[in-house]
Amino acid sequence: MRFPKILIGVVAAAALTAGCGSDDGSGDGDSRPGGAAAEEQNEPSEQEDLPVAVTGPRPDVLDTDDDALQPPDEPDSSADFARKVEHKLRANVLRSAKVAGETTATCPDGVTREAGATSRCTVTYDGVEIPYEIVISDSYQEGDFLTQYKAVPKKGLLVAEAVYDTFWKQKGEDDPYVEALTCDEIPAAEAVDLNTDTGHRCQLRDEYRTTRFTVTMDSFGPAFKPIT
């Protein structure tokens, strides 16, 4: 997993780089049928479509630089270090979600600024809690102008609209063979284990076959693996 490295100055906060969604390149075995293979797969599928039809990009899913994904009340340069970290974590979660929502963040015991120190914080997104560990760089020395640290999420934030949007863009947007893309009814937002099957499913149906996919969450966003 890739974790963002953040620099925050004693006087001024540095910007946090949020992760971007990306096709995981795992593929779905999507070589199109031809010849004998087409004849073998030409039987109509009896597998029913899933409840949510995915027919195009989702309008609530925003570009990561959209102002709606920037939390309000950015602390000024004189603010406490923990307050700056909390604001950066809120921004990180919003950009990961790609859908606007209400966020809070708290580091109940503050953030320890010592080399190698680990502090715990919690971000909420529309009431869903995402725990983080803040790990100060081993190279930190007291009095440093910049404080480098990693923000390590202990859970992933799965947002339904982002799942549907990513599934469309990865599996249907540029594929003329697709007849239907559908998914389970996924909760609007939920905390999930990273790189682990969430139990949710999406499905691609074309003229020749129906393929179901597991839904997981990795450091890039929602990911889909065909069920064989």
User: Which amino acid is residue 100, in one-letter code?
Assistant: A
pLDDT digits (tens, 9 = 90+) for 116-137: 999 999 999 999 999 999 999 9
Residue 228 has a pLDDT of 85
- The pLDDT mean for the chain works out to 85
Residue 176 has a pLDDT of 86
* pLDDT > 90? residue 106: yes
Which pair of structure tokens corresponds to residue 49? 């479509």
pLDDT digits (tens, 9 = 90+) for 3-54: 555 545 433 333 333 333 334 444 444 444 444 443 344 344 457 999 999 9
More confident position, 77 or 88: 88
Identify the residue whose tokens are 């073998």: 40
Residue 31 has a pLDDT of 45
User: Which amino acid is residue 106, in one-letter code?
Assistant: T
Residue from 28, 48, 60 nearest 180 by CA: 48
Residue 46 has a pLDDT of 56
Whole-structure pTM value: 0.78
- List, in sequence order, every beta strand (DSSP E) within the chain: 5-9, 52-53, 103-106, 118-125, 128-136, 146-153, 156-159, 178-183, 189-192, 201-206, 210-218, 221-226
Q: Domain residues of the chain, as ranges?
A: 5-19+62-154, 35-60+159-226
